[in-house]
Structure 1
Amino acid sequence: MFIAGLTAREIADLCKKNIATVHLHLKKREKYEPGFYIKHVEALEARGPHRVTTQWRRRMREAHEFYSTHGRLPLRAGDFSERSLATWIAEQRRLYDRNELPQAKISLLGALPGWNVNERTQENEMRWRKKLALFIAFVATEHRMPRYRTYATQEEHVLGVWLHNQHQRRAQNRLELWKLEALNKAVPGWRSRS
């Protein structure tokens, strides 16, 4: 494992042995097999700077436990531990967006729902879904589309502006497919005539 590029800490964790025991074994191995350590260094460098380390696995485990307990990803507004995890996930997301995250990490992070979605994007999507729910309720109650010019209430005006924006985004091919599908499913006649 050592000459395959695994660190002493990774070997100790995998074998469930004390790290001092692993170091002792590796020291003896170098004595009987000269060049053993050099092979390790070469293999470790080949793994690259973004390899899956023991510490990385530990942070991944902590993030998964947090998600299992709270039903959401950690936020930067939480306590120190939660902020630390949120920062770690944000760093993974940043590396992913820059195509610098190795496939092994991407696969392991796949068990953490929404890890690669930007927090601001998530908030915007939640806000959009709330507006959609209000829009559906308005249409069900009033039996018409909300207006943004000749509105009866301030709530209708807000929904009318929101709907107008959806029309414009659709016409400019800037409305995401999932939003278009959600609107079509919720209120089939929502589209403007353009």
Structure 2
Amino acid sequence: MMYEAGLTVREIADRCHQNVATVHLHLQVREKYQTGLRAAHEAALNDRDPDRPSTKWRKCLEEVIHFQSDHGRLPRNEGDAQEQRLFSWIAVQRRSFNQGKMSKAKETLLGSVSDWATDTNQRDLDERWRAKLIDLQDFVSEFGTMPRYKNFVSEREHELGVWLHNQHQRRTEKKISEWRLELINAVLPEWKRRS
């Protein structure tokens, strides 16, 4: 039945916990007695979603689930070879999902991995950006002026002045993301005027 439904020999072997060669041999014998079995299999296989979760894909998913369970986090790129391989696999899944190319079956199965669709590097960058904006807001509240990157009084002023200068440049070059621009405009409307 599984073969007629379009499952591959490897998928059947994995689901039945059998050797691939054993399943293959069984199906060869069955084809002698059930005419049209192979044609039905190939038709069903062609109708399946080309982005279906393969056995290899499912094994990678299991490894990621175990890794997250053992370490309390997703794999990172700076770990050992296995962790880097899992990190790369998740990055490929995330890219496929963000481009709208992922099958619903894979999306559903990945639901058991928390935070898999979040680009952790971008999330960290965004958190640091928000922290800088809060620090800038505190500075302006404390001193009543925007920080300067030239002729600064303290290292904190210099650091915030450089950061603010970079935001001005990104805005001018239209390289600042829309949400960042909206947030900085809402928090400090006077930031556009250079002091």
Length-normalised TM-score, structure 1: 0.71
Cα distance in 1 between the residues matched to 2:177 and 2:12: 46
* Residues 96-105 or 32-41, more deviating: 96-105
1:86-125 matches, cutoff 5 A:
86-96=87-97, 100-110=101-111, 111-115=113-117, 117=119, 119=121, 121-122=122-123, 124-125=125-126
* Residues 1-10 or 90-99, more deviating: 90-99
Cα distance in 2 between the residues matched to 1:133 and 1:38: 65
Cα distance in 1 between the residues matched to 2:114 and 2:47: 27
Structural RMSD (CA): 3.5
Structure 2 residue aligned with 1:62: 63
- Over 3 Å counting, the alpha-carbon distance change for 1:158 and 1:4 in structure 2 is same
Cα distance in 1 between the residues matched to 2:155 and 2:73: 33
Counterpart residue type for residue 161 of structure 2: G
* Residues 31-40 or 5-14, more deviating: 5-14
1:77-156 matches, cutoff 5 A:
77-96=78-97, 100-110=101-111, 111-115=113-117, 117=119, 119=121, 121-122=122-123, 124-139=125-140, 141-156=142-157
- Over 3 Å counting, the alpha-carbon distance change for 1:184 and 1:83 in structure 2 is same
Cα distance in 2 between the residues matched to 1:55 and 1:124: 33
Aligned length: 191
For each residue in 1:169-191, what CA deviation from the matched residue of structure 2 results, as whole angstroms up to 9, or x when unmatched?
44665432432455456x34453
Q: What SS does the corresponding residue of 2:192 show, helix, strand or coil?
A: coil
Cα distance in 2 between the residues matched to 1:118 and 1:18: 39
Cα distance in 1 between the residues matched to 2:135 and 2:37: 67
Structure 2 residue aligned with 1:36: 37
Q: What SS does the corresponding residue of 2:42 show, helix, strand or coil?
A: helix
After TM superposition, give the deviation of residue 78 of structure 1 in Å. 0.5
Q: Which runs of 5+ in 1 are unaligned?
A: none
- Over 3 Å counting, the alpha-carbon distance change for 1:96 and 1:174 in structure 2 is same
Structure 2 residue aligned with 1:160: 161
Q: Which runs of 5+ in 2 are unaligned?
A: none
For each residue in 1:84-136, what CA deviation from the matched residue of structure 2 results, as whole angstroms up to 9, or x when unmatched?
211222333454566554343244335441446384x4554354244335434
Cα distance in 2 between the residues matched to 1:124 and 1:170: 18
Cα distance in 1 between the residues matched to 2:183 and 2:67: 30
Cα distance in 2 between the residues matched to 1:93 and 1:33: 43
Contact 2:149 2:165 in 1 (8 A): yes
* Residues 49-58 or 165-174, more deviating: 165-174
Identity rate, percent: 44
Cα distance in 1 between the residues matched to 2:84 and 2:92: 12
* Residues 47-56 or 127-136, more deviating: 127-136
* Residues 79-88 or 31-40, more deviating: 31-40
- Over 3 Å counting, the alpha-carbon distance change for 1:12 and 1:136 in structure 2 is farther
